[in-house]
């Protein structure tokens, strides 16, 4: 247990130490906001891997409210900022926060292994579940959520350009709300609480 904790701390430290440099190098510092066309179906079947390496599918979250965000651990600004906002939302919602399962789905499966994701997401909040998979699995779930992403070569490495937003999915697997990046936690809490209340009233 102690050895695992030390390894996680080292990985997290290395990731955070790289953020300032990554921010300077990344040409797309502000991802394009995700857009959903009227009547567009968002969400659908997927199979990914959780931090323990176990298979996770859409059916694993049947009956749950989800906060879904796509990104990658080497993201310089938007991803860590958004995950901090998600953590604040969970805390600010009190007991209602227990009704939400936040998912951070990596768009960089080549580098974001389950171990890396585990160290990264728990740094922000232990309730955030990091998911990864094969390139094909990631492309499938990204398509299902209308997420655009592409590799941006940076010498002998690369960064990712991608759209971004937080998807609030209801227990039926349907999009309840698309929360834009940079939304203040208080505004996000209000929007999520309204969606939960409308669901109960319905």
Cβ contact 141:99 at 8 Å: no
Instruction: Give the Cα separation of 191 and 180 in Å (integer).
Output: 11
Cβ within 8 Å of residue 52, ≥6 positions away: 114, 118
Is 117 part of any known ligand binding site?
A: no
Question: Which secondary structure element, helix H or strand E, spans residue 67, and what is its range?
Answer: strand 65-71
Burial annotation 148-178 (CB, 10 A radius, 16+ → b, else e): bbeeeeeeeeebbbbbbbbbbbbeebebbbb
58 assigned ligand-binding residue: no
DSSP letter for each residue of 92-154: HTGGGGGGEEEEEEES-TTT--HHHHHHHHHHH-TTPEEEB--HHHHHHHHHHTT--EEEEEE
179 in helix, strand or coil? Answer: strand
Inter-residue contact 71 to 106 (CB < 8 Å): yes
**Residue 159 assigned ligand-binding role:** no
- Summarize the annotated binding site as residue ranges: 75, 79, 162
- Summarize the annotated binding site for Cu cation as residue ranges: 75, 79, 162
């Amino acid at each position: 247990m102690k050895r695992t904790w030390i390894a996680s701390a080292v990985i997290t430290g290395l990731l955070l130490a790289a953020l300032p440099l990554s921010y300077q190098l990344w040409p797309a510092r502000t991802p394009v906001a995700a857009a959903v066309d009227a009547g567009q179906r968002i969400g659908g079947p997927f199979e990914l891997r959780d931090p323990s390496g176990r298979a996770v599918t859409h059916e694993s979250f049947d009956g749950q409210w989800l906060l879904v965000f796509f990104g990658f651990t080497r993201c310089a600004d938007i991803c860590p900022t958004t995950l901090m906002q998600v953590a604040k939302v969970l805390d600010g919602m009190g007991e209602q926060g227990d009704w939400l399962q936040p998912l951070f789905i990596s768009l960089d499966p080549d580098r974001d292994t389950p171990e890396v994701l585990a160290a990264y997401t728990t740094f922000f909040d232990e309730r955030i579940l990091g998911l990864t998979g094969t390139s094909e699995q990631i492309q499938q779930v990204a398509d299902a959520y209308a997420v655009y992403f592409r590799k941006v070569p940076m010498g002998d490495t690369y960064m990712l350009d991608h759209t971004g937003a937080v998807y609030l999915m209801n227990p039926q697997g349907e999009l309840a709300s698309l929360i834009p990046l940079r939304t203040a936690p208080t505004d996000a809490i209000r929007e999520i609480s309204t969606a939960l209340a409308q669901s109960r009233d319905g």
